[in-house]
Amino acid sequence: MMILNMWMLVIIMFILGNLIFVSKHKHLLIVLLSLEFIVLTIFFFMMIVFNNINYDMYMLMVFLVFSVCEGALGLSILVSMIRTHGNDYFQSFNIL
């Protein structure tokens, strides 16, 4: 029963993270936070699966390293966008 509750929590977290990512696309910071929330959800999912099959947790450390690198790249994009444009609105940032 406890495993079922953990699976439901992970599924709800993943759905909420995706809904925030899709609906709140006005600010870059909210998009980056929702992506980090999705990465955290995937980490919880991998931790549950690896505990169920008695697998080594080494791959979780590799996953955390890549997620930290992804977060650092997102923050550097956010800082450069704020320095050049003054805010993090997507409307003021002309991609084309």
Give Cα separations from 18 to 15, 21, 29, 71, 81 (angstroms). Answer: 5, 5, 15, 17, 24
| pTM for the model | 0.82
What are the boundaries of each domain within the chain? Answer: 2-85
Instruction: State the average pLDDT over residues 70-91.
Output: 83
Which residue did the predictor score with more confidence, 39 or 90? 39
Q: What's the mean pLDDT in 67-89? A: 86
pLDDT at residue 63, rounded to an integer: 92
Q: At the topology level of CATH, where does 2-85 sit?
A: Helix Hairpins (1.10.287)
| The pLDDT of residue 75 is above 70 | yes
Distance from C-alpha of 21 to C-alpha of 31, rounded to nearest angstrom: 6
* pLDDT reported for residue 41: 93
pLDDT digits (tens, 9 = 90+) for 24-73: 778 888 888 899 999 999 999 999 888 888 888 888 999 999 999 999 99
Q: Which residues, in sequence order, are CB contacts of 92 under 8 Å at separation 6+?
A: 85, 86
